[in-house]
Amino acid sequence: MIKTYDCFTDPAAADFVRLDPAPAAFRLLRRCAFILAFAFVMAGALAAAPVTQLKVMSFNIWVNGGHSLSNCIEAIRVSGADLVGLQECNEATARVIATNLGFHVLPASGRSIVSRYPIIASQNIGSSRGATIELAPGQRVHFFNCHLTAYPYGPYDLKQGRSQSFIIQQEHQTRMPALNQLLAAMQPFLAGSEPCFLVGDFNAPSHLDYAGFPWPTSLVVAEAGLGDSYHEVNSPNRTFPPAFAFNEPGITWTPKTDQEPEGVYDRIDFVHYSKGDGATPTHSVELDERNSVNPWPSDHRAVLTTFALVPPTPRERASLPSPAHLATNVTLTPFLSWLPGSNATSHAVYFGTNSPGALLTGTTAAYVALSNLLPGKVYYWRVDEFTPSGTVTGEVWSFTTKLTSAVVYEWNFAAGDLSPALGNGILTYADGTVTSNLTTFGVTDGVSVPHIGGRPAGYLHAPAFTGAGNGYQVTFTASGPNGGGTFINQYTMIFDFLLPGTVGWLPFFNTNPGNANDADFYVNATGALGIGAIGYSASGLISANTWHRVAFVADLAAGTVAYYLDGQPVFNGSASPDGRHSLYSNLDAGPDLLLFNEGDGSGVYTHELYLSSFCFTDRTMSAAEILALGGPRARGVLVPPPARQLSIGLQASNVVLYWSAGDGLVQLQQTGSLTNLVWENLGQPTNATNALVPRELEGGFFRLREQL
């Protein structure tokens, strides 16, 4: 594959059969098409007063607690925060924080949420998290927490003289994909009338703090209808330039000057809110040792905003539906909620593809969770209220689910945790802290751990597991049954991995996520790939201390399975639909797959490994597609490479060209005309990122050709 970047004259421009019992012996009871969430509320709770003031905090706690987790907890406590988005906070740490505060918790790798009020629904949106929180009966808010990638860092590039167009393009390539995905998931909630909050460490400044620099991450949030609470309450603040000092109002990166080698300070942590939904910021402040705990435990200041809330006023019948009436792009697993009628004692919920829907359930709760909806479909629903004086028939509401095609999930461990690089999949430790404590993350150093293709790559390092509960569980959140069966029968799984030491048994995956039986695909002791139930490749394919890319490609509907090594086919076999090698889907309760462990009681058939990338898609990729992917790459499998940025400068006798680093060699080319187009190579393909070319009087045009 060749990518071309043009630049003209403007810088903007087991050899052992491991037979398992039939999958049915281990498959758990399938989740019904609809999962109903009931909450039977005590009479005292029904009388709970609505909330009129809410304190919302964003807090990057610096790798699970910085210098002092107890001080992080105390900072939250003394602030009086009600809802907190925690960045750099893993699941175990989030639980400790919530327990000490007496809060509810939505634990997540790096982006956890704790709340004074009950969390009644949650969303995994790529690496971000969302929660629906019930402040009082019928009074809900939607809270989203993100942590955008830290590098490359735009303010550093700005200080080093990079052009505005270069930095903006870089933002679009690095932070904007995850943020756009998050905002798309928020859209059905933003379309409603319940307050929404978006907090996080954006690792990028706001356009509101700069004179004439349109930082994309803050612009797109504003365009989505979200307000910047700190800026609104504390306006007017001065704008850049000149550069900000570390202790100026609003600056969140960083109060610890020894953590900022470039002397660049900015407001990069935010509390955003949906305008017009009954939440008004009344006070907002950045927190550090000047006004909170001392010493301050983190390299970020926290942001705390106090909001005045206007509680919703119940009508006679149910109102304020979420998803909002006529909302689009609604998830296939939505959470229906509404404001109960003023005298309601219970509710009858109707739902379906024809108006007004069929009776779904009766409940005393004001919400119902659904799953297994069809993509691109209009659904109708209605809530009838039962009151002491009779039934009050509700309005008919509707929404449209998002369109879906094949779903891609990928983890490349660039963030040093289990957060996904692509898709909404969930990768978790199968046994919590045991596997977590056995797992390390790092970046190849080229010595103890080889680079991939000469480039540093992030990795997950796991030992040879000895406990049956060890391993990593995968949940395919957006993948339903396919291939005409009850389970996922058409899929592709790709691993970029290295076996240190010597080659030995490695179980890639187990279709029983509880590890109740043997794994289903291995490297065996001879370096072959396979499983006795399907067959093995030739021996000696896998080498120790070498990065390989292995693909397992299944079309069980057609009865076929293929193995590939570094893009090349090495074995073709057969397997049955809805059989041993079919996978659980989002219709099944719990995780769908287990990685790197197996339940064989006769011995230990596991191996230490380095995993640079794990990719899954719920379709059968072709041999040509696998060949095009080739061998392992530092960035991962399907994670797109950053586009090269080519800029130009003029000297008296030369043209100076600069471009950003990429994944491979690049060929610089020149032409004198865009009408009579003949491109001439300038030098040989190179890993360099700049060139000096003699200046020609008639001018010229330049481009890069990159061999991926």
Domains of the chain are: 2-13+644-707 (2.60.40.10), 54-309 (3.60.10.10), 319-335+347-401 (no CATH), 410-629 (2.60.120.200)
pLDDT recorded at residue 21: 27
Give the bridge partners for 104, in sequence order. 115
Beta-sheet strands, E only, within 444-505: 458-462, 472-475, 490-498
Confidence check: pLDDT of 130 > 50 = yes
- Asked if 680 contacts 669 with a C-beta cutoff of 8 angstroms, the reply is yes
Give the rounded distance of the alpha carbon of 546 from its chain centre: 29
Q: 170 by DSSP, 3-state: which?
A: helix
Is residue 676 very low, low, confident or very high in pLDDT (cuts 50, 70, 90)? Answer: low
What totals of helices (H) and strands (E) does the chain contain, helices first? Answer: 11, 43
Q: How many CB atoms lie within 10 A of CB 306?
A: 20
The C-alpha atoms of residue 686 and residue 666 are separated, in whole angstroms, by 5
- Asked if 409 contacts 617 with a C-beta cutoff of 8 angstroms, the reply is yes
The C-alpha atoms of residue 572 and residue 569 are separated, in whole angstroms, by 8
- Please tell me what DSSP assigns to residue 292: S
Tokens matching residue 643: 């586009």
SS (H, E, C) 87-124: ECCCHHHHHHHHHHHCCEEECCCCEEEEECCCEEEEEE
Q: What is the pLDDT of residues 17-51, one digit of tens each?
A: 222 222 322 222 222 222 222 232 322 333 478 99
Pick from 417, 420, 411: nearest CA to 494: 411
Is residue 13 very low, low, confident or very high in pLDDT (cuts 50, 70, 90)? Answer: very low
Q: What is the pLDDT of residues 392-421, one digit of tens each?
A: 999 999 999 877 667 889 999 988 999 998
For the segment 440-447, the average pLDDT, to the nearest whole number, is: 94
Confidence check: pLDDT of 699 > 80 = no
Phi-psi region of 127 (alpha: psi -120 to 50; beta: other; left: phi over 0): alpha
Q: Could you tell me the strand order of the sheet in which 654-659 lies? A: 646-650, 654-659, 690-694
Q: What is the pLDDT of residues 449-474, one digit of tens each?
A: 999 988 889 999 999 999 999 999 99
| Helix or strand holding residue 471 (H, E) | none
CA distances from 292 to 72, 74, 287, 296 (A): 10, 9, 6, 8
Burial status of residue 311 (CB atoms within 10 A of its CB: 0-12, 13-18, 19 or more): middle
- Please tell me what DSSP assigns to residue 30: P
Confidence check: pLDDT of 300 > 60 = yes
CA distances from 593 to 418, 477, 507, 513, 616 (A): 15, 12, 12, 5, 11
CA distances from 480 to 116, 217, 410 (A): 35, 32, 17
Average pLDDT, the chain: 87
Q: Between 36 and 550, name the one with better pLDDT.
A: 550
The C-alpha atoms of residue 496 and residue 547 are separated, in whole angstroms, by 7
The number of residues making up the chain comes to 708
pTM of the full structure: 0.58
Amino acid, single-letter form, for residue 403:
L
Out of 205-214, 424-433, 460-469, 655-664, which region has the weakest mean confidence (pLDDT)? Answer: 655-664
Burial status of residue 171 (CB atoms within 10 A of its CB: 0-12, 13-18, 19 or more): buried
Amino acid, single-letter form, for residue 165:
S
Distance between first and last Cα of the chain: 6
pLDDT recorded at residue 651: 81
Give the position of tokens 């692509």.
422
